Homo-oligomer: A and B are copies of this chain.
């Protein structure tokens, strides 16, 4: 497996610039996390966009789609802000022959306590185990991309198809 990572910004990559007293999107943290995870496969990380996902435009999503379609590799992880992750995933609908997994973080990877490393591991575990398709790896779960939403108040991703009163969750 060769893993292609496309970084599009979001909380996962946020850094703090003291000179501006501001947080911005920094360089992709995926490289650091994969090295710390001591992965034994080849990978490339391409930084496509550095934005909060609420600021992503149709043009940004067209760029992501074009780069994913042009990618010669089967295994793709997209790091993305959580607020519009499902929208960008929807913009990739119909791309065949690839396993595409989106992930991100609720807390910046540079924090001492962050979900970033766990989430990227989750995505890497899923991308090599699943058939072709588009998935979202968040909240410790793997969702099909068209059956998941972010519950902003609860701070988690949840299935849109889970029966609310099911007996055996």
Contact = CB atoms under 8 A, between A and B. Distances in A.
Interface of A: 1-2, 11, 14, 16, 18-19, 21, 23, 33-34, 36-42, 52, 54, 81-83, 106-108, 110-115, 117-126, 128-130, 137, 139-142, 152-153, 155-158, 169
A23 B157 CA distance: 22
Contacts of A106: 18, 38
A107 to B, nearest CB: 6
A112 B33 CA distance: 12
8 contacts: A18-B107, A21-B83, A38-B155, A39-B139, A118-B120, A120-B121, A121-B123, A121-B140
Contact of A40 (B14, B16, B158): B158
A23 B20 CA distance: 13
A129 B142 contact: yes
Contact of A125 (B23, B115, B129): B129
A36 B157 CA distance: 15
A109 to B, nearest CB: 9
Max chain B CB contacts within 10 Å: which of A37, A110, A155, A157?
A37
A110 B110 CA distance: 9
Contacts of A37: 115, 118-119, 122, 140
B110 A117 contact: no
Nearest to A152: B19
Contact of A16 (B23, B119, B129, B139): B23
